[in-house]
Structure 1
Amino acid sequence: MTGRYCSLAQQSAPAFTPGLTAERLGALIAGRAMWVNGTVLHYYFFDGDEDGSVISVPGTGQSRRVSWVGAKEQRDVVRECFREWQDLGIGVSFVEVGDRSEAELRIGFQLGDGSWSTVGKDCLLAGQQERTMNFGWDLTLPGERGTALHEIGHALGMLHEHQSPFAGIHWDDEAVYADLAGPPNFWSRDTTFFNILRKLDPSEVNGSVWDPQSIMEYPFPGGLILEPEQFRAGLNPPGTLSPADKEFALRWYPPADAPRLPALEPFRSVPLRLAPGEQADFVIDPPETREYTLGTFGANDSVLVLFEERDDVPRYVAGRDDGGEPHNATMKARLVKGRRYYVRVRLYSAWGPGETAVMCW
């Protein structure tokens, strides 16, 4: 029998401007959900009586609230797994907060609702009263710690490994549908297709080869995989971070150095000499309190993100993604004299003559 699986919510495919080159489109797909390096992700555990889902009670015409609050033992497993990802030395860090309004990641423990997470920056689309991650079963049971590592992998922007087009998996489709329709998952055919049978675009996957040992790989019992032949009897990843998982995380989020960042001064553009996937970081010390405009220039697709330093920690303020659009990333923000801000620009791709640049004014 199949084990309990992470169930990602179905999302509409991102719409890009028609006519993009294959190279430009591939860069956009690959980086769409990824954070800019140096981001501090704040996570929050729901903890109040009012925190939960309202569900109907069959046959009664009534409803009841199901709690999102997890026991300390459950929260501690998740905390340990955040630390394990952090201890790789990646350039994204995790900080627990007690105020949900400060959290990008909001975590619930609704039993029976499955385990799932939004993927990367998609969490920013969720309201402050909504979960961006849920754990639907006991994480302290043997072998279940990997569930928390897996969902945090999604929060970092990683997708399911068995959906890689490089895996070469030939499924017994009907056997998969039948197996997932039963306990403990009770999935619809649409959910099963989206989370298992659907192949990802080559630009979306976590690497250029399939990693059956990945923390993002599901275990499967025998009888579901027809090819490769060695997995007909089942696929059983160890539930730990594989070498390829670590390499992928460090490639996207290399260790953040602490050099003196260049200043981004009003009305002075700074050239960006970046290769696809590279990032430039700047500091802003506003000379006066007012509304400023920040933007990139030139023929490029990029992500522009503004942070404010609070208690020595950069807090997300706003971001713009111009990926695939004919215009550049531009945003307005009120900056306060005496406070420090950081601007991070990550390039998807650049093309055509001339240089790209960033400026505030």
Structure 2
Amino acid sequence: MDTPFCCTARHWPDLNAAHENAILINPDNAGHRATGRIQKRAVGKVNKFWKPGSTLKISFWDAWGPIPEDLRQAIFEAGCKWLPYVNLKFERVANRRDGDIKIAVVNSNDNFSMFGTDARMAADASMVLGIKPTDPKFQYAVIHEFGHALGAEHEHQHPDANIPWDEEEVYAYYAKKNVSRADVDEQVLSKLDRAGLLNTPYDRKSIMHYPVPQALTKGDWTVGTNLKISRKDRRFMRLAYPA
């Protein structure tokens, strides 16, 4: 069975502070609740995009443990796979506290990213990678987490996904990985509220989509591991970060 990749897109708990931060970084976020072309984008929060044309500083949070240079560069290069589709630049910086996106590597199965501009509010790491560089899904996992850091939600939680989950099988599977039912609900099963989202039609090929093994669904329904940025992923980023 294909092993589903599991991560957490973390939103800053103080919604008002997060929104004020987003507007400070990108004043256009104040108007992203409007209808119109914004409604045509892929799933993503409307008010936490970085300012188009800006350079995001990428640092490595080595306070939690050493990160070899070759691993730092591999992570950075994987994140840069988004750059052809966004009006942004990435710059590696040496001081871990100077990063807009601050990346830690941990010896566990934890993978998460703060969502969009929320990353700048983190006092320590805003992105954590537990996946090992020897894992065949390493580059996919890094691209996926950078997608969250740029403002893309989980595609399997798209309001139109309609995945026929076998919920008890899903809970049992993640329980073996010490993931609580509440976290499974939040990161896997719950659909995103259409209000306040940017969305295009649901995309089974999105790199922001979890793999969906047959064993976790009812009927004939699967999604493999989408290892590449899809056409609709590219469309989303170009609309979120126009030239």
**Given the two structures, how large is their TM-score scaled by the length of structure 1?**
0.56
| Aligned partner (choices 88, 91, 95) of residue 92 of structure 1 | 88
Does residue 116 (structure 1) correspond to residue 117 (structure 2)? The answer is: no
Contact 2:211 2:223 in 1 (8 A): yes
Please list every run of 5 or more consecutive structure 2 residues that lacks an aligned counterpart in the other structure: 20-30, 36-43
| Aligned partner (choices 48, 72, 84) of residue 33 of structure 1 | 48
**RMSD over equivalenced CA pairs, Å:** 2.4
- SS of 1:107's partner is strand
Does residue 76 (structure 1) correspond to residue 73 (structure 2)? The answer is: yes
Correspondence 1:211-230 to 2 at 5 A: 211-226=203-218, 229-230=219-220
Contact 1:212 1:237 in 2 (8 A): no
- SS of 2:187's partner is helix
One-letter amino acid matched to 1:76: Q
Quickly say closer, same or farther: Cα 1:247–1:78, change in 2 above 3 A: same
One-letter amino acid matched to 1:37: P
Quickly say closer, same or farther: Cα 1:84–1:4, change in 2 above 3 A: closer
CA distance in 2, matches of 1:203, 1:87: 29
**Identity over aligned residues, as a percent?**
29
Q: CA deviation at 1:75?
A: 1.7
Any idea what the Cα deviations from partners look like across 1:193-234, whole Å, max 9, x if unmatched?
1100111012455532111111100112212123xx541xx3
Contact 1:166 1:208 in 2 (8 A): no
- Report 1 or 2 for greater relative contact order, CA contacts < 8 Å, sequence distance ≥ 6: 2
User: Which has more radius of gyration?
Assistant: 1
Number of the residue aligned with 1:5 = 6
One-letter amino acid matched to 1:248: F
Number of the residue aligned with 1:154 = 148
One-letter amino acid matched to 1:7: T
| Aligned partner (choices 181, 185, 188) of residue 193 of structure 1 | 185
- SS of 2:9's partner is coil
Contact 1:164 1:205 in 2 (8 A): no
Any idea what the Cα deviations from partners look like across 1:297-326, whole Å, max 9, x if unmatched?
xxxxxxxxxxxxxxxxxxxxxxxxxxxxxx
Aligned length, in residue pairs: 221
One-letter amino acid matched to 1:110: V
CA distance in 2, matches of 1:12, 1:213: 30
Number of the residue aligned with 1:136 = 130
Contact 1:7 1:195 in 2 (8 A): yes
Does residue 171 (structure 1) correspond to residue 165 (structure 2)? The answer is: yes
Contact 2:59 2:97 in 1 (8 A): no
Contact 2:154 2:208 in 1 (8 A): yes
In proportion to residue count, which structure has more strand? Answer: 1
Any idea what the Cα deviations from partners look like across 1:313-359, whole Å, max 9, x if unmatched?
xxxxxxxxxxxxxxxxxxxxxxxxxxxxxxxxxxxxxxxxxxxxxxx
Q: CA deviation at 1:124?
A: 2.1
In proportion to residue count, which structure has more helix? Answer: 2
CA distance in 2, matches of 1:25, 1:201: 16
CA distance in 2, matches of 1:155, 1:31: 13
Q: CA deviation at 1:253?
A: 0.5
- SS of 1:193's partner is helix
Range 215-224 or range 199-208, more displaced:
199-208
Correspondence 1:1-361 to 2 at 5 A: 1=1, 2-9=3-10, 12=13, 14=15, 26-27=33-34, 30-47=45-62, 51-52=63-64, 67=65, 69-88=66-85, 90-127=86-123, 130-182=124-176, 185-203=177-195, 205=197, 207-226=199-218, 229-231=219-221, 234-255=222-243
Quickly say closer, same or farther: Cα 1:10–1:37, change in 2 above 3 A: closer
Q: CA deviation at 1:27?
A: 3.6
Quickly say closer, same or farther: Cα 1:191–1:225, change in 2 above 3 A: same
Q: CA deviation at 1:10?
A: 6.4
CA distance in 1, matches of 2:156, 2:236: 16
Contact 1:45 1:107 in 2 (8 A): yes
Please list every run of 5 or more consecutive structure 1 residues that lacks an aligned counterpart in the other structure: 17-23, 53-66, 256-361
